[in-house]
């Protein structure tokens, strides 16, 4: 796992400014993998690199930078650095409220209906995954019988 992430990071660094946003994402993804593997100290290091990359590329007030602050704060708090974690959480909270609006609830769909609810509204997801196959098999030229299942 580590070799693949290290290689990806190397390629994004080699890409220069064009790969700066992707470099931040690669550091963030690597940090998550390291954290799940139990290497919290290395995860913190990569979250810090991701934050620096995002701030350099998009600016310190970009929502991606704030999300990395949230992840970094969680790892810092778990590692015992509560004061630094609180400062990052507050910075992320203020920035995200400014970007998304105070007191609003946002989801991944950003207020749009999900694909499943859209399909239900259209009547195509009512009967489960086999309904489409059953519908297709109902029509037969006259004189032909349908097979029993």
> What is the per-residue pLDDT across 77-124, written as a single tens digit (0 to 9) for each?
999 999 999 999 999 999 999 888 876 555 444 454 444 444 444 443
DSSP count for the chain of H helices, then E strands? 7, 0
pLDDT at 63 over 70: yes
Q: What is the domain partition of the chain in residue ranges?
A: 2-100
What are the DSSP calls for 44-64, one per residue?
A: HHHHHHHHHHHHHHH-TTSHH
pLDDT at 7 over 60: yes
Q: How many residues does the chain have?
A: 149
User: Which of the four CATH numbers 3.60.10.10, 1.25.40.10, 1.10.10.10, 3.40.50.300 does domain 2-100 have?
Assistant: 1.25.40.10
Distance CA 21, CA 12 (A): 9
Q: How many CB atoms lie within 10 A of CB 114?
A: 11
Instruction: Return the higher-pLDDT residue of 119 and 57.
Output: 57
| Burial classification of residue 28, based on how many CB atoms lie within 10 Å of its CB (0-12 exposed, 13-18 middle, 19 or more buried) | buried
Whether the CB-CB separation of 57 and 32 falls below 8 Å is answered with no
| Tokens 């602050």 found at | 69
Q: What is the pTM of this model?
A: 0.65
User: Which CA distances in Å does 138 have to 119, 120, 127, 141, 143?
Assistant: 22, 22, 15, 10, 13
pLDDT at 6 over 80: yes
């Amino acid at each position: 796992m580590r070799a693949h992430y290290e290689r990806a990071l190397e390629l994004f660094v080699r890409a220069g400014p064009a790969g700066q946003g992707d470099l931040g994402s690669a550091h963030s993804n690597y940090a998550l993998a390291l954290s799940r593997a139990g290497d919290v100290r290395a995860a913190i290091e990569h979250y810090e690199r991701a934050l620096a990359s995002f701030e350099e590329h998009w600016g310190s007030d970009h929502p991606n930078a704030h999300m990395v602050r949230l992840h970094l704060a969680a790892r810092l708090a778990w590692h015992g650095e509560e004061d630094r974690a609180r400062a990052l959480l507050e910075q992320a909270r203020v920035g995200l409220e400014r970007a998304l609006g105070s007191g609003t609830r946002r989801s991944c769909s950003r207020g749009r209906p999900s694909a499943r609810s859209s399909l239900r509204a259209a009547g195509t997801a009512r009967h489960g995954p086999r309904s489409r196959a059953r519908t297709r098999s109902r029509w037969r030229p006259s004189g032909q019988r349908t097979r029993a299942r």
